[in-house]
Amino acid sequence: MRKILVCGAAFAATCVSAVAVPGGAQATTPAPTPPSSVPSAAPTGEPGASTPSGAPPTAGPGSQSPSTSSTTHPGEGEAAPDGEPDGTVTAQAVMVTPELPKFRTYAYGRDPSQRVDAYWRDAGPRATPRPAVLILHGGYWLSGDKGGGWKYFARRLTEEGFVVMSANYRLAPKAQWPAQRDDSLAALTFVKQNARRWNIDPRRIAVIGSSAGGQLATQLGTLGTGTAQVRGVIAMSPPNNPYLAYQAGGKPTATPSQQKLRQAVVDLVQCVPGATAVKDCWDRLEDASTSTHVSARDAPMLLMHGSGDFVPLAQSTGLAGALRAAGVPVTVETIEGDKHAAQLLDDARTYPTIVSWLKNRLKPGPE
């Protein structure tokens, strides 16, 4: 069945043309084995979710929402990818929707938040393993979801030849830093240990994060020897230095979003920075600042902000300076306007820039 969607002029420049041919139920296959560092859990169906902060909208130019979601249980075959209704929006160009990839949600730990969505396409028995992208959602470390508006973006990336994984993680204030980073790393480990399941080359994985998820992405790119974790990092509006965000939120000129981010930092580290703060508080803040982990073998990065972003460019220029001093390739892009995080995808240049960077970084061959 061929589906046609009309999309706005700004997003149309980045539309992908394909034929949608939804299939039936997919073949039964063994469930992946979670990494030894996290308990085993069965695959779960994806819960419904509202549009996450820092993620593309589920309605509007170039985005769609599924009409159903699939659920699988141990011992059952995989459900077919969730359906996609026909629809139109005010537009000046025509886009053919991407063919739906396979889709399934897996548990990488015991906590209900420790879930990852997989989007992939069938490969022949001699197919070359594909590069993969791990997506980390935004939401002030307090909210957000792996699904919602990220589904369409993930499907588009599978059209580019990538396998896409989108992870949830434990949220503050219930979970104190570094639980969010621990979960992001556990999700990545789960993907690598089960790479053959989705025909992934575990040596060619990049991470994309928006807003708070961008900070987690840059942490994965610098933790220990960053390139041992991921081949590259793309971060959109990342608050790479939470203490800097805390200070900005306390200024008289702070916007409501900056004030919210200030409180989110308190909820993340579960302490109030200041003269009376205990050493553990400052230790957590320092650990949450990505620049403190920079070393010569870190992953190359693409850092993106809006010119009027409430998470300012300074949050990335400081990190970029530290990376360059260590000899790590880094590019900082500024998009005109006050767009934040995945809203940057509304600019016609953003998606092609991301895809080009990913294809360059995830080429076959040794790093």
pLDDT, tens digit (0-9, with 9 covering 90-100), for 177-203: 999 999 999 999 999 999 999 999 999
DSSP 168: -
3 state DSSP class of 310: coil
- Mean pLDDT taken over the chain: 80
> What is the C-alpha to C-alpha distance for residues 130 and 196, in angstroms, rounded to an integer?
10
Task: Specify the range with the lowest mean pLDDT, choosing from 53-62, 91-100, 142-151.
Answer: 53-62
Helix axes 150-159, 350-361, angle to 10 degrees: 50
Give the other-Cβ count within 10 Å of 272's Cβ.
12
Average pLDDT rounded to a whole number, residues 51-60: 40
Short-list 217, 22, 204, 194, CA closest to 102? 22
Q: What is the structure's pLDDT at 58? A: 39
CB–CB of 265/242 below 8 Å?
yes
Q: What is the structure's pLDDT at 49? A: 36
Short-list 154, 152, 187, CA closest to 169? 187
Q: C-alpha 241: how far from its chain's center?
A: 19
Which amino acid appears at position 238 of this protein? P
Short-list 129, 103, 88, CA closest to 23? 103
Whether pLDDT at 16 is above 70: no
Which residues, including other chains, have CB under 8 Å from residue 182's CB and lie 6 or more apart?
A: none
Q: What is the structure's pLDDT at 34? A: 52
> What is the C-alpha to C-alpha distance for residues 236 and 213, in angstroms, rounded to an integer?
9
Tell me which of 16 and 332 has the higher pLDDT. Answer: 332
- pLDDT above 70 as % of the chain: 72
Measured at the alpha carbon of residue 89, what is the angle toward residues 24 and 100, in degrees to the nearest 5? 20
Q: What is the structure's pLDDT at 366? A: 65
Helix, strand, coil shares, percent, the chain, to 5: 30, 15, 50
Short-list 201, 265, 263, 277, CA closest to 239? 265
State the number of CA atoms in the 13 A half-sphere of 192 facing the CB: 19
3 state DSSP class of 166: strand
Short-list 183, 258, 249, CA closest to 216? 183
pLDDT in tens, 152-175: 999 999 999 999 999 999 999 999
- pLDDT above 90 as % of the chain: 67
Whether pLDDT at 62 is above 80: no
DSSP 52: P
Average pLDDT rounded to a whole number, residues 197-222: 97
Q: Which two tokens stand for residue 360?
A: 């360059």
Bridge-partner residues for 104, per DSSP? Answer: 118
Bridge-partner residues for 70, per DSSP? Answer: none
Q: What is the structure's pLDDT at 99? A: 75
Q: Which two tokens stand for residue 61?
A: 């130019």
Domains and CATH numbers, the chain: 4-241+289-361 (3.40.50.1820)
Q: What is the structure's pLDDT at 21? A: 33
pLDDT in tens, 312-342: 999 999 999 999 999 999 999 999 999 999 9
